[in-house]
Amino acid sequence: MEYQFLSKIKSPADVKKLDEKDLPVLAEEIRDQMIRTVSESGGHLSSNLGVVELTIALHRVFRSPEDKIVWDVGHQCYAHKMLTGRFDQFNTLRAPGGISGFTRRYESEHDIFSGGHSSVALSAAYGIAEANKLKKNKNYTIAVVGDGAFTGGMVYEALNNAGHSGTGTKLIVILNDNEMSISRNVGALAKYFATIRANPRYFRLKARTEDVLNHIPLIGRRLAKILFRLKTSLKNRIYKSTMFEDMGFRYIGPINGHSIPNLTDALRGAVEANYPVLLHINTVKGKGYELAEQNPDRFHGISAFNIETGEKKLSAKGFSDAFGSFLCAAAEKDKRICAVTAAMALGTGLEEFGKTFPQRFFDVGIAEQHAVTFAAGLARGGMLPVVAVYSTFLQRADDQIIHDCAMQQLKIVFAVDRAGFVGDDGESHHGLFDPGYLNSIPDISVFAPATFRELEHCFYEALYKTEGSTAVRYPRGVEPELPEEYVFTGEDWQCTGAPSDIAIVAYGRCYGEALKARRILRQEGLNVMVVKLTRIKPVPKEAVKCAMQAKKIWFFEEAQRYGGIGETFADKLFQYGYRGEYTNTGVQGQFAAQNTVQGLMALYGLDAAGMVKAIKENEKQ
C-alpha cells in the first residue's frame, strides 16, 4: 500500500516534521497496515492497535535512539517499527528472514532491549537510566509497560527499587492501562487535576517553589514539608490510590491514550519532573478494528484471519484443544482437579474449563513463579492442580519447580504447551529448554506424547499413576498424520520394526518424522528400527536395551542438545556396555531464529529428509 504519510516516514525525525493535524491520518494509516499485514502473517494485533497514538507521541517528544524506549514484552512494537524505518519491511513480519514480531536488538538501533517475555522493561530501563546518570548522560529512558505486564511481580520489584533513585534519574514509566484499572480516578475534580499535572508548566512551577522554600533560612525546609503533607492529604482524597507516589514516583494520569495532544503534553510534563515519573494512560485494546475491540483476547495473538469476518483461515483442532477437552472431562469426574494458568487461558485451551468450573479455575496473571508455588499450595491442601503454561514461560519458574514442587514431592501436573519449535514468534518463544532443565530435577517425571490419544493417556498417567510432580509436554499445532506402522500401545516406549543394524530413537514430533524416514530408507534397501519414547524422564531401561541391538543409533530431539534427553540416553547406553556408534542430533549451542516449524525441522535435520540424509551419508562413509 502507498500511504499519504506513513510511506514517507524513514525515521522518527520524519514524525516530528508532520503537522499536528496530520497525525490522526497517520494513526489510521498505521492501523490499516497492521490489520492488513497481521491478517496474512498472524501476530499480536489488538495490543498493537491500542498503542498507535502513544507511539506517535513518543517519537514526537523524544529522540530515539538517543532517548531509549523499552517496550515490555515487545509485542506492542509494530507502530514503533513502522516509524523507525521499517515500514518497507513490515510485510515480512514474522516471516523467515523478515522482521520480528518483537523488539530485537540485532534488527534496529531503535530496538533498545530484545523482548518476548513479560514484566522486564522497567528493570532494564532503570538499569539504562542509572548507567546514563553515572555517565552524566542527559537522555531519557522510557519503559512502556502494560497489556497485563503489570500483573507480573518483577514490575513491583523494579518499582520498589527505581522509586528510591531520587532526583536526576531520567526515567519515565508508562502504564498502558487497557483492561484493568490500577488507580481508578472518578469525578470532575480528579480529571481536572490530572490535566493540570500533565502540563509541563506544573512541574516547572513545582520545582521553582520547592527551590525557593528550601532556601528560606530557618523555616524553609519545615514549610516545604508542611506544604507537601497538605498536598498529599488533598491528593489522597481525590485519588483512590497513591501507591506509585508512595514508592517514589511522580504520578501523572490517567491520560486519554488515544489523544496525541494530551499524550504529548503529558510526556513533556514528565520530562520537566526531574524525578522518576509514572505516566498512567488509558487505551482501548484493539482500537480502530471493531472485531478486535469487541474480542481483544481473541485478537491478542492470532494466526492469519479474514479481515471482514475475523475468522481464522486455519482452525483445525490442536494439542491445546485436545488438552482442554480432556481436562474438562477429567474434572467432571474428579472434584479435586484444579486448573492454573498465568494469563493464558485461551492459548492453553482452558477457556471452556474456566466457564464450566469457575471455582476450580485460577488465572493468576502473568506470574509464572507465583502460579507454580500457588499450585504447590493447592496440592498441599489436598487438591490436584494442573498448571497449563507455554514451555518458554515455564522457564521463569524453574526455581519454584525445584524447591516448591519436586523437592517436597508434591502432586502437581504441568501441561507444557508449545514444546519444541513454535515458528513465527522466534527465539524468545521456542520451547527448546524444558527437556534439559526438567531432566536435571530429581523426583519429577516427563511425558512427550505424539498424538491426541497419547496426550490423554499421558495426562491420565500423570494424574493417577505417577508419584510426585509430572510434566506432559506437547507441540503447538495439529495432530500429525502417522504412517500405518504406528500402533497405540499405552506403554512408556515402543519399537517399530525388527532388530536391525540401524536404530532411530525419537519422541514427540520427531517420532512421526522418524517413521517417515524409516519408510524411505527401507525403499532404498536399508532396514531401520524406530524406538519411540513416550516417557522421556526417566528414560525407560527397556527402550535403551532395545536400541542396543543396533550397531548405529541415531537420536533426534526437537530441543537443545546439551543437557537434553539424547545425552541421558547416551549415558544409559554406555552404562549398559554399548560399543556401537551413537549420534545425537538437536539444536546445538544457538537460539533458533523465527521460521516456520517445517523450516526449522529441516534446518536442524530433524525432519524425515534430514534423518535420511544423515543416515545415508554415514552409510556411504
CA distance 275 to 169: 6
The alpha carbon of residue 459 and the mean position of all alpha carbons in its chain are separated, in whole angstroms, by 25
CA distance 98 to 119: 26
In the residue annotation, 231 being an active-site residue is answered as no
CA distance 332 to 335: 7
Residue 417 C-alpha cell reads as 504447551
DSSP state of 406: I
Cis preceding linkage at 358, omega within 30: no
* CB distance 251 to 245 below 8 Å: yes
In the residue annotation, 311 being an active-site residue is answered as no
Given 29, 53, 272, 368, which residue is catalytic?
A: 368
CA distance 322 to 338: 17
CA distance 609 to 251: 59
Give 404's contacts (C-beta < 8 A, 6+ positions apart).
372, 373, 376, 410
Given 81, 285, 411, 516, which residue is catalytic?
A: 285
DSSP state of 480: P
- Regarding beta strands 528-533 and 413-417, do their DSSP bridges make them parallel or antiparallel, or are they unpaired? unpaired
CA distance 504 to 514: 7
Q: Could you identify the residue written with the cell 514484566?
A: 119
Cα–Cα distances (Å) from 389 to 75, 121, 484, in that order, read 18, 22, 32
What are residue 315's phi and psi, to 5 degrees?
-135, 30
Residue 245 C-alpha cell reads as 507516589
In the residue annotation, 396 being an active-site residue is answered as yes
Query: Comparing C-alpha atoms, which of 178, 139, 177, 141 is closest to residue 158?
Result: 141
For residue 457, count other CB atoms closer than 10 A to its CB: 21
For residue 359, count other CB atoms closer than 10 A to its CB: 7
Cα–Cα distances (Å) from 106 to 178, 198, 226, 515, in that order, read 30, 35, 51, 38
Annotated active-site positions, please?
285, 368, 396
